[in-house]
Amino acid sequence: MNILITRPLIDAEDLMGKIFSLGHKIIHIPTLKISSAKAEPIDANQYNAFIFTSANAIRNLKVNKQDKGKLCFCVGAITEKIARMSGYNNTVSAGGTVNALKNLIISSSQINEKSKIAYFCGDNISYDLDLELKREGIGTNKIINYTSVKITDLNEENKKIIENHPPDIILVYSLRSAQSFIEIVKNYSLYPIMTESTVMCISKKVANIFSDKGWKKIKIFNPGDELLQLKEINL
């Protein structure tokens, strides 16, 4: 199959290698540029726990008085893996959704109304986790430590690849990435080609964007389950 991946290379490299090893072809068209935000380092001792909803939040972490034993709530297995690779050894993972992460934090025996949590995230989020936790009486400080900018340009080489070898599968990992990708499709008159592809979306919200724009073949996946779903589609 021809598989189009929209994630930045640093997030997609491992998956791309696995997909390639299975004999599939890859078209890499990143739709977001991730950059570190201008933020002062925080004092880890001020917080009982950290929240990470993406690997980018961990990569752009700026912390004084580092504590690798700090309790870290991670949205899913991949984010937890990056946290552990960064040296954190007290991590817990939710089921891959922010709502599951919220429930995990609320039910944790290590968190109470006196706790203070640092929530590291990007400048564009689709779910106000900090506000939801505050409603539950959990003190949460949202810290924006990275930014995302849409990429809506498509080079001539990739345009020709898509026109000559349309993707069978398109992998999309965020609401903002979906919006950026659809802008590319519109700007380069690729609708007739792209809407025939199966688009795999990270959430129902993302899936709805593609459904509204004419895609018929849409699937929802959890990060880490991509290869399993690809095998099922390829049967």
Question: What CATH number does residue 227 fall under?
Answer: 3.40.50.10090
Of the three residues 126, 146, 166, the one that is the final residue of a domain is 146
Question: 3-state SS string over 108-146?
Answer: CCCCCCCCEEEEEEECCCCCCHHHHHHHCCCEEEEEEEE
Q: Over the range 195-229, which residues count as b (16 or more CB within 10 Å of their CB) and which as e?
A: eebbbbbbbeebbebbeebebeebeebbbeebeeb
Provide the domain limits for residue 25.
Answer: 2-31+151-233
Predicted pLDDT of residue 207: 96
Q: For 147-175, how does the pLDDT look when each residue is reduced to its tens digit (9 = 90+)?
A: 999 999 999 999 999 999 999 999 999 99
pLDDT reported for residue 57:
95
Share of the chain above pLDDT 90, in %: 84
Side-chain half-sphere exposure of 163, counting CA atoms within 13 A: 10
Q: Are residues 108 and 160 in the same domain?
A: no
pLDDT for the residue 56: 94
Count of structural domains within the chain: 2
This prediction's pTM: 0.87
What is the per-residue pLDDT for 67? 85
Residues 23 and 45 in one domain: no
Condensed to tens digits (0 to 9), the pLDDT of residues 94-153 reads 988 889 999 999 999 999 999 999 999 999 888 899 999 999 999 999 999 999 999 999
For position 105, what pLDDT does the model report?
97
Q: For residue 17, is pLDDT > 90? A: yes
Q: Which of 146, 162, 189 is the last residue of a domain?
A: 146
What are residue 161's DSSP bridge partners?
Answer: none
